[in-house]
Each structure stands twice: as C-alpha cells, then as structure tokens.
C-alpha cells in the first residue's frame, strides 16, 4: 500500500503548506531513521533505508507547489495516464500558437519568436494564477471531499493540464530558438 505523504508527516492535505514546518519534520525523520544507526541489525537497517527513501520522496514532492498539485490530484484519482484530456476549446485557442511555432521552425524570425514566447508566457501566468486562486479556495474549504471541493479539484485539474500543455509549447519553442 502506498504511503500518503501528508499522513507521513502528520500534516493536513493542503495546496499551501508551511514549508519550514515540512523541512523540520523532514530533518527530524531523517535523523530518527538514519541507516547508519542500524549497521549491525540488517532488519532495522532495511526498515531505516525504506523510511529514508519515503522521507526523501515525500519531501521532494511536498516541498514544491507544482508537485503538490500533481500529487493531490493523483491521490483523488483525477490524473490518470490515459484520461488526461485537455478541453477542446483550449486546444482550439492553442492552434494559432502551434501554427506560429511551426512557422518559426521553418523560417526563424526573432521578432515573431519574442511575440510567441510572450504570448505563451502570459497564458502560463494566467493559468498559474487561476490554479493558485482555486487552491486557496480548496484549502479554506472542508477537505472532506464534498461536492464543492471535488468541483474545485476538477477545475484545478483542468487548469493544471492546460498549464502542462503550455509548458510543452514553451519547451518546443525553446528547442530551436
């Protein structure tokens, strides 16, 4: 059974967490479960190694906002490998940008490149603001997964998927720029 990283640290599942408290809990667990304390006991050593691995992974994921978003969405079954459909209306909006990127690949133009980059950056920043606003709403609500909180998570999921798409556009543009 997979370990819930929020439970592992004894913190409430939220998008915005106290990062200093998280770091303190991480260091405390790292010190408590250090494998070097158990060099003469193979069973305890293996348990400490497992706890250290979980601790490192949990801290890595919970320490960054974007990875926390992904983690929370996955925990609620809202991100699945084959079911991450980006809304069709958004893809239609992105069609012009994709065409601009293709044009730049064939015939690079510095001015056009800056325009497209700026447009992509504005869209990405707008999506990030929307995610932060909804995440704040979620954190203030009763996280017992009422219909309201589930709707918020679904909205976050949609913006998250759009944000990932925009990031791929940025990376595509950066490859040849």
CB atoms within 10 A of CB 12: 9
Q: What is the mean pLDDT of the chain?
A: 92
- % of the chain surpassing 70 pLDDT: 94
Nearest to 81 by CA among 70, 89, 90: 70
Q: Six-digit token pair at 52?
A: 């250290």
Residue-wise pLDDT for 31-54, tens only, equals 999 988 888 999 999 999 999 999
> Taking the model in full, what pTM does it have?
0.88
Cα–Cα distances in angstroms (integers) from residue 91 to residues 88, 121, 169, in the given order: 5, 16, 12
For residue 58, the model assigns a pLDDT of 98
SS3 172: helix
- Work out the angle between the directed axes of helices 88-106 and 147-176 (0-180°, nearest 10): 10
40: which DSSP letter? Answer: T
Residue 83 confidence (pLDDT) above 70: no
């Amino acid at each position: 059974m997979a370990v819930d990283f929020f439970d592992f640290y004894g913190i409430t599942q939220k998008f915005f967490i106290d990062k200093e408290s998280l770091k303190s809990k991480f260091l405390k667990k790292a010190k408590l479960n250090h494998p070097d304390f158990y060099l003469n006991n193979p069973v305890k050593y293996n348990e400490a190694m497992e706890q250290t691995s979980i601790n490192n992974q949990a801290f890595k994921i919970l320490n960054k906002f974007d990875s926390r978003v992904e983690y929370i969405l996955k925990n609620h079954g809202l991100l699945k490998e084959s079911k991450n459909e980006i809304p069709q209306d958004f893809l239609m909006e992105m069609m012009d940008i994709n065409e601009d990127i293709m044009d730049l690949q064939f015939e690079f133009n510095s001015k056009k490149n800056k325009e497209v980059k700026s447009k992509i950056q504005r869209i990405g920043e707008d999506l990030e603001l929307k995610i932060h606003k909804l995440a704040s709403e979620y954190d203030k609500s009763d996280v017992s997964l009422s219909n309201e909180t589930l709707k918020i998570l679904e909205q976050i999921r949609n913006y998250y998927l759009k944000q990932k798409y925009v990031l791929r556009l940025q990376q595509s543009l950066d490859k040849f720029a």
